Amino acid sequence: MAVMDEFKEEREALKHGTPKEKFTYFMDYYKWHVIIAVTVVIAAIFTIRGILNRKETALSICLLNTIELDASGYNEEFAKTLGLDTDKYELFFDAETWIDLDALDETTFANSQKMMARLAAGELDVMITDTDSITNYSYQDDFFTMEDLLTPEQYQKYQPYFYYIDRKTYEEWHEYISDPDNLLYDADSYDFPDPRKPGEMASPVAVGIFLDDCPDLRECYHFKSDDVVFSVFANSSHTETALQYLEYLMPEE
């Protein structure tokens, strides 16, 4: 008997079957169709709900190689300072990204890839980290220069705290890492100039600000060293809010 004929006979007999027989038949033939359909509908509902409920990011801050101690109150106070509508906007503080270039383990590799993807997508505004951790990014043109970012008044105010890179060293370093023999370069072993001594540089450029006088911040986060730097990513779309955060970190005395 042809398959279609057999199928028709089963359907005809089922018309006079009991509810249990009909349910069993339905589950035998359509169970996976139903499961897949329900799964798709549930996924669609959660996706739509996530889009509708998603808040716009007012500022995204990466505290690289940092351990959060108790920063909730400190960060909430900044939101109040901004007058932020927390129903529509959020401040994103990432103190979970750890990149140890000395270890080069799976965590470092995964976080490095994640960081590059987030930078490419323009999802990060500010980086706060120790000087060793920020060197690799500052010598890749990842940050605004202070000349381009700050007003003349702000430039004068923060100039004593500037973190500098040397443009000449930048060119030499990129030539160094472009050499196939230096694919596994070690940024820690490269001779970068002291970022606090622009006078010893051939072509100094300020790309960050040392957070020397920020006791409240240090009570909330543990950093690898005492030298902590604030920088704004060059593709940030929230520079005004980033500078408001800087003022919050370093208020007028």
Q: What is the pLDDT of residue 64?
A: 95
CA gap 94, 76 in Å, rounded: 15
Q: Give tens-digit pLDDT for 191-245.
A: 889 999 999 999 999 999 999 989 899 999 999 889 999 999 999 999 999 999 9
Residue 114 phi, psi dihedral angles, 5° rounding: -65, -40
Based on the fold, state whether residues 42 and 64 are members of the same structural domain: no
Kindly tell me if the per-residue pLDDT of 16 is higher than 50.
Answer: yes
Based on the fold, state whether residues 29 and 72 are members of the same structural domain: no
Count Cβ atoms below 10 Å from residue 43 Cβ, excluding itself.
10
Number of H helices, E strands in the chain: 10, 8
Question: Which residues touch 134 (CB under 8 Å, ≥6 apart)?
Answer: 64, 127, 163, 208, 229, 231
Based on the fold, state whether residues 43 and 116 are members of the same structural domain: no
Kindly tell me if the per-residue pLDDT of 44 is higher than 50.
Answer: no
Q: What angle do CA 152, 157, 163 make, to 5 degrees?
A: 95
| Distances from the Cα of 25 to the Cα of 14, 20, 33, 39, 153, angstroms | 8, 9, 13, 21, 79
Based on the fold, state whether residues 142 and 245 are members of the same structural domain: yes
Kindly tell me if the per-residue pLDDT of 38 is higher than 70.
Answer: no
Based on the fold, state whether residues 32 and 149 are members of the same structural domain: no
Q: What is the mean pLDDT of residues 101-105?
A: 70
Based on the fold, state whether residues 105 and 171 are members of the same structural domain: yes
Selection from 128, 126, 136 nearest residue 64 by Cα: 128
CA gap 46, 4 in Å, rounded: 40
Residue that finishes a domain, picked among 33, 51, 69: 51
Of the pLDDT bands very low, low, confident and very high (cuts 50, 70, 90), residue 126 is: very high
Based on the fold, state whether residues 19 and 126 are members of the same structural domain: no
Of the pLDDT bands very low, low, confident and very high (cuts 50, 70, 90), residue 34 is: very low
Task: Report CA 149 to chain centroid distance, whole Å.
Answer: 21
Of the pLDDT bands very low, low, confident and very high (cuts 50, 70, 90), residue 18 is: low
CA gap 244, 42 in Å, rounded: 41
* CA torsion, ordered 219, 221, 227, 233, to nearest 10 deg: -130
Based on the fold, state whether residues 28 and 84 are members of the same structural domain: no
Q: What whole-number percentage of the chain has pLDDT above 90?
A: 48
CA gap 93, 60 in Å, rounded: 6
Based on the fold, state whether residues 147 and 237 are members of the same structural domain: yes
Based on the fold, state whether residues 34 and 137 are members of the same structural domain: no
Of the pLDDT bands very low, low, confident and very high (cuts 50, 70, 90), residue 182 is: low
Which domain range does residue 35 map to? Answer: 3-51
Q: Give tens-digit pLDDT for 45-68.
A: 444 444 444 689 999 999 999 999
Count Cβ atoms below 10 Å from residue 171 Cβ, excluding itself.
13
DSSP, collapsed to helix, strand or coil, labels residue 92 as strand
CATH number of the domain encompassing residue 98: 3.40.190.10
Based on the fold, state whether residues 8 and 126 are members of the same structural domain: no
CA gap 110, 14 in Å, rounded: 56
Q: What is the pLDDT of residue 48?
A: 42
For the chain, what is the domain count? 2
Based on the fold, state whether residues 47 and 21 are members of the same structural domain: yes
